[in-house]
Amino acid sequence: MNQLISAAITKGLSFKIDPSSLRWRLTSFLGLVLLVTFLVIGAGVVTFVHNTEVAAWRGRQSEAARNAANTVGAFIRRAADTLSLIGLLGRDELTSKPQLLGQVLEQNPALQEVVYLDAQGRVLASGSQDQPLLANLFTIPQSQWFLTAKQGQNYYGSLQTSADDAPYLMLALPAPDGAVVAARLRMTVLWNVVSDIHFGESGRVYIANREGQIIAHTDPQVVLARTSFADHTYLAQSLQNTTSEWYGEYQDLQGNPVVGVTAPVPGTDWVVVTELPQREAFAASRSAFLVMGGSLLLFGLLLTMVGGRYPNRTIFRPLEELRDGSERIGEGDLSYRIKIAHQDEVGQVAKAFNNMTARLHEQRLALEQQNAQLEAIYQIGLSLTSNLEVKTVLDLILGSTFKFLPQLKDAHIFLYQERLTFAASLWSDGRKDYMAAEPRAGGLTYTVAEQGETIVIPDTRTHPLYAHTTMAWSGALAGIPLKIGTRVVGVMTVAYEHPFTFTETELRLLRLLGDQAAIAIENAYLYEQVQQELTERKQVQEALHQLNEELERRVAERTAEVADVNDNLLAEILERQRVEAALRKSELKYRLLVEQMPAVTYIAKLDETGSSVYVSSQIKNLLGYSAEEWMADPQLWFNLVHPDDRDSIIRESQAALATDRTYRAEYRMFNREGQVVWVQDQTVVLPDEAVQSGLTQGVLFDITARKRAEEQLKTSLHEKEILLKEIHHRVKNNMQVISSLLNLQSNYVSDTQALEIFQESQNRVRSMALIHEKLYRSKNLAEIDLGEYVNDLVIYLFRSYKAYGKGITLKIQADDVHLGIDAAVPCGLIINELISNALKHAFPHNYQGEIRVELQKNQQQISLCVSDDGIGFPTDLDFQNTNSLGLQLVNTLVGQLDGTIELQNGSGTTFKINFAI
């Protein structure tokens, strides 16, 4: 079977599907009919089985659901009845007999806890089989179960699960006097009820409330997971139906296809759902479906295999042969004939087809012959155009004639120009150019030539042209005139050895060949004429050619001469261009040099106006006037020079240029905005051998920035000088104040030694103040004239020590020595000390004498000599190591000056101090 199918598949799939084919359409139609038939039958059977089965499971499941609903209903009713009874017992009975509720619970194991409440929700009596729960609630007045029952309705609560997974259900019923009886219902009892209900092999039952929440299920985990089918579109419909049963086919919560029936639980708002897997419910329809499908498949296969052969043999195979035959004929095989197996419609078609083919074959042969003739003529035509030799063409024509009329004995061609001339012939035995006989006057050939008409003689024996001849043979002849227009140029004759009737086709062919021959002959004549003309023309051309050559030679000679002259000219032009380019380059170089320089370059006339001949473009940057403006106005330079500078420049430049031929000046000009621009102008008179005499060439630099800086420096310096002067002045003043203070204070000193110290200090301060005074009076504030200073100082000291009155004279001899403050102060103090010493100690007891101060400068060496001709320095005293403050000071100060000191003790005392500046 399998092999059969696979073979069938292979075969089936090996067909090429052509949706437009007759076979396909026929097959499709038959297949469709077959399919519809199968489907109708199949559907009918399956539907019948299915309906029967649906009726069966619905009945079965409805019963199961009803039973379950009744069982559950009875369970709930029992519990409710118990609660109603408790309610009827009333408040007094229950509160007076607290053990009563316990007894009730023992009777009814489904009740876990019972409470009896008043209208305010207060617990009046309670009993419990475990830990009391309801009795301890403080939210009872808010509880839905209490409020529902208080309003007179029974309350069947949803499932509750405690923290330890113990499920319970709240039940609350109204009782007389607004009281409420409530209970916790043990769920496990209800679950056992549900799991005890069985139907089918794997049918299951569960209970749900109106919200779709499952409260009892054969699998407790489903309940504990708080499963709800409120979102299950199909099952949720059953919740709408509160009074009657509902059934349907759907996927359950796990997605398995099931059939389900629901039934309301009487006395509650719960529904019982029974579900059976569809696999089980529809087991019979499924097997019916499979069996039907299988058998239809088999039947279909058989039908195909058996029934498919007949149409194949009777219709499709002959049709295919017909098609193959057509294709072969189409390909050109006209000899093919279709085998005719049956005399049915297809056989008749085949027969008609064969007849048609036979006729086609005949026509084809005729056509081929015609084609060959046309081909030959075409070939002759070709050779006519490519071959001008008349004999060759005529032989070709004769050859072709034999090809088409192979039975010919001979064929001749004659030329005709008033008389006939033999041109060519061909014989059946292959001989060529053999003439049968000279044409006779009045014979066939001449008649044809003269009349210009074709003459056909089927049988020489009966034809009038041969009536009077003694020709022994009897045959057939045809004469064809070879004509160009109406002019006869020749005759072609053909002969048969036996009588023969020329067909129209043969005659037409002969005439065609004759026409070709006529053209060939005519061509030959024309060619001859043309050749002759050509020869003449060639001779004329030769003469012309020679004349031409002579002329050309002469022209060439002249041309060569002209070319030489041209070459020389060209060389000259190139040289000139090169020189010009070099000049331009050089000029460009210098112009760039001049115009890139950060200064204005100019050439001006050597007269008073100084008007410019050339000025470089930088003038625009310098003064804001363009070079063109500058050169257009000869007065411009003069006008722009600052009026204060104008006269001096003109005067000085004229003078300088006349003598030194060069001039340099710095002066002010105004730019276009009227601002002052400082320029440095450097001019030189151009040598006379330059382009033009009487010209100067110069450069203008912008030195405004430099000038500004200079002025600032000057100002700054001046300010500093004033400052310095002021400082020296103040220092001097301060020292003078100190000196005055010392003087004032000395008025309060009575001790002579102390007084002396005061005076010495005063002198020292004074000597320093004098330096500062000299400084601020000096020219450069940095140095003092030492000679002048010493003079002033010594005069002061003499006055201070009242030396003049004592007959001591002073002699000062000083070179022009200038010292800075650093050297002047120690130097002044040294002189102060030494002279003070001399005045104090050298001339005791009205001793008279002279004090000399000598100051000599020898290059950088200063030599200071303070001497007296007094009593002389005490010999036991080392002047470099004494207690005298004055001498200590002298030594220290000499050290400060990096100098040396020596003492010459002869007549009087001489101190000689040398130091460098």
Partner 1 sequence: MTLRLTLLINLVLFWLVACQAVSPTPTPTPPPLADELIFYNWEEDLPQSVLEAFTRESGVKVNYLVYESQEEAIDNMRAGQVYDVVVMESRFVGLLAREKLLAEINYQHVPNFKNISANFRDLAYDPGNKYSVPYNWGFTALIVRSDLVEAPVTRWADLWDPRYAGRVGLWRGQPREAIALTLKSLGYSASSENPAELAAALDKLLALKPHLRFLEDYDPANAGPALASGEIVIAMGYASDVLMGRELNPAITYVLPQEGALLWGDNFVIPANSPHPYTAELFLNFLQRPEINAQVANENLYATPNEAAYPLINPDLRNNPLVFPSNEDLKKAEIILPLSPEGQKLYDQIWQRFMDAAPPEKR
Q: How far is the CB of 324 from partner 1 (least distance, A)?
A: 19
Strand partners, 419: 417
- Work out which of 107, 240, 244, 254 binds partner 1, going by CB under 8 A: 254
Span from 247-255, 585-593, 715-723, 776-784 in contact with partner 1 (CB under 8 A): 247-255
- Work out which of 22, 35, 374, 574 binds partner 1, going by CB under 8 A: 35
CB–CB of 153/213 below 8 Å?
A: no
**Residue 364 to residues 327, 329, 333, 370, 880: CA-CA distances in angstroms?**
17, 12, 11, 10, 165
Does position 178 interact with partner 1 (CB under 8 A)? The reply is: no
Q: How many CB atoms lie within 10 A of CB 394?
A: 26
- Specify the residue, 126 or 696, whose C-beta has the smaller distance to partner 1: 126
Does position 250 interact with partner 1 (CB under 8 A)? The reply is: no
**CB within 8 Å of 201: residues ≥ 6 apart:** 280
| Site string (302-341) toward partner 1, x via CB under 8 A | -xxx-xx---------------------------------
- Specify the residue, 132 or 347, whose C-beta has the smaller distance to partner 1: 132
- Work out which of 37, 103, 144, 715 binds partner 1, going by CB under 8 A: 144
Does position 133 interact with partner 1 (CB under 8 A)? The reply is: yes
d(CA 810, CA 849): 9
**Residue 711 to residues 43, 493, 716: CA-CA distances in angstroms?**
125, 140, 8
- Work out which of 8, 54, 319, 703 binds partner 1, going by CB under 8 A: 8
d(CA 624, CA 46): 116
Chain-centre distance for alpha carbon 561 = 70
d(CA 851, CA 868): 4
Q: How far is the CB of 102 from partner 1 (least distance, A)?
A: 21
- Specify the residue, 275 or 785, whose C-beta has the smaller distance to partner 1: 275
Does position 232 interact with partner 1 (CB under 8 A)? The reply is: no
CA-nearest of 575, 598, 597, 595 to 587 is 595
Residue 909 token pair = 């005392």
Residue 768 token pair = 């320093």
Interaxial angle between packed helices 752-777 and 786-800, expressed in degrees from 0 to 180 and rounded to the nearest 10: 150
CA-nearest of 110, 76, 104, 74 to 88 is 104
Q: How far is the CB of 291 from partner 1 (least distance, A)?
A: 11
- Specify the residue, 42 or 443, whose C-beta has the smaller distance to partner 1: 42
Q: How far is the CB of 220 from partner 1 (least distance, A)?
A: 14
CB–CB of 273/207 below 8 Å?
A: yes
- Specify the residue, 227 or 474, whose C-beta has the smaller distance to partner 1: 227
Pairing mode, if any, of strands 214-217 and 204-208?
A: antiparallel
**Residue 489 to residues 402, 417, 523, 802: CA-CA distances in angstroms?**
22, 7, 11, 182
Q: How far is the CB of 179 from partner 1 (least distance, A)?
A: 18
- Specify the residue, 210 or 912, whose C-beta has the smaller distance to partner 1: 210
- Specify the residue, 131 or 379, whose C-beta has the smaller distance to partner 1: 131
CA-nearest of 892, 897, 893, 890 to 915 is 897
- Specify the residue, 170 or 819, whose C-beta has the smaller distance to partner 1: 170
Q: How far is the CB of 113 from partner 1 (least distance, A)?
A: 11
Q: How far is the CB of 3 from partner 1 (least distance, A)?
A: 14
Span from 86-94, 289-297, 428-436, 772-780 in contact with partner 1 (CB under 8 A): 289-297
Q: How far is the CB of 329 from partner 1 (least distance, A)?
A: 28
Span from 82-90, 143-151, 263-271, 342-350 in contact with partner 1 (CB under 8 A): 143-151
- What is the distance in angstroms between the CA of the first residue and the CA of the last residue of the chain? 142
Residue 657 token pair = 């240029």
- Work out which of 95, 153, 251, 882 binds partner 1, going by CB under 8 A: 251
Span from 2-10, 473-481, 495-503, 684-692 in contact with partner 1 (CB under 8 A): 2-10
Q: How far is the CB of 48 from partner 1 (least distance, A)?
A: 17
Q: What part of residues 147-176 is at the interface with partner 1 (CB under 8 A)?
A: 147, 157-158, 160-163, 165, 170
Does position 23 interact with partner 1 (CB under 8 A)? The reply is: yes
CB–CB of 890/830 below 8 Å?
A: yes
Q: How far is the CB of 374 from partner 1 (least distance, A)?
A: 51
Does position 701 interact with partner 1 (CB under 8 A)? The reply is: no
User: What are the b/e assignments for 533-543, b being 16+ CB within 10 Å?
Assistant: eeeeeeeeeee
Q: How many residues bind partner 1 (CB under 8 A)?
A: 61
Does position 139 interact with partner 1 (CB under 8 A)? The reply is: yes
Does position 357 interact with partner 1 (CB under 8 A)? The reply is: no
Does position 301 interact with partner 1 (CB under 8 A)? The reply is: yes
- Work out which of 227, 671, 682, 736 binds partner 1, going by CB under 8 A: 227
Instruction: Phi first, then psi: give them for residue 118, nearest 5 degrees.
Output: -85, 180
| Type of residue at 888 | Q
Instruction: Phi first, then psi: give them for residue 493, nearest 5 degrees.
Output: -125, 145
Does position 31 interact with partner 1 (CB under 8 A)? The reply is: yes
Does position 290 interact with partner 1 (CB under 8 A)? The reply is: yes
| Site string (879-898) toward partner 1, x via CB under 8 A | --------------------
d(CA 799, CA 792): 11
Chain-centre distance for alpha carbon 168 = 71
What kind and span of H or E run contains 808?
strand 808-814
- Specify the residue, 80 or 170, whose C-beta has the smaller distance to partner 1: 170
CB–CB of 808/769 below 8 Å?
A: no
Span from 267-275, 299-307, 544-552, 625-633 in contact with partner 1 (CB under 8 A): 299-307
Pairing mode, if any, of strands 808-814 and 849-858?
A: parallel
Q: How far is the CB of 125 from partner 1 (least distance, A)?
A: 17
User: What are the b/e assignments for 653-692, b being 16+ CB within 10 Å?
Assistant: beebbeeeeebeeebbbbbeeeeebbbbbebebbeeeeee
Q: How far is the CB of 170 from partner 1 (least distance, A)?
A: 7
- Work out which of 22, 28, 417, 676 binds partner 1, going by CB under 8 A: 28
Does position 143 interact with partner 1 (CB under 8 A)? The reply is: yes
Does position 47 interact with partner 1 (CB under 8 A)? The reply is: no
CB–CB of 215/207 below 8 Å?
A: yes
- Work out which of 300, 452, 458, 624 binds partner 1, going by CB under 8 A: 300
Q: How far is the CB of 360 from partner 1 (least distance, A)?
A: 34
Span from 90-98, 136-144, 420-428, 667-675 in contact with partner 1 (CB under 8 A): 136-144
Does position 690 interact with partner 1 (CB under 8 A)? The reply is: no
What kind and span of H or E run contains 192?
helix 187-195
Q: Which residue has the tokens 């600052």?
A: 642
Would you call 554 exposed, middle or buried from its count of C-beta atoms within 10 A (0-12, 13-18, 19+)?
exposed
Does position 442 interact with partner 1 (CB under 8 A)? The reply is: no
Q: How far is the CB of 57 from partner 1 (least distance, A)?
A: 17
**Dihedral sign, Cα of residue 103, residue 107, residue 113, residue 116:** negative
What kind and span of H or E run contains 188?
helix 187-195
Binding site for partner 1 (CB under 8 A): 5, 8-9, 11-13, 15, 23-24, 27-28, 30-31, 34-35, 38, 42, 133-134, 136-139, 141-145, 147, 157-158, 160-163, 165, 170, 211, 225-228, 251, 254-257, 279, 286, 289-290, 293, 296-297, 300-301, 303-305, 307-308
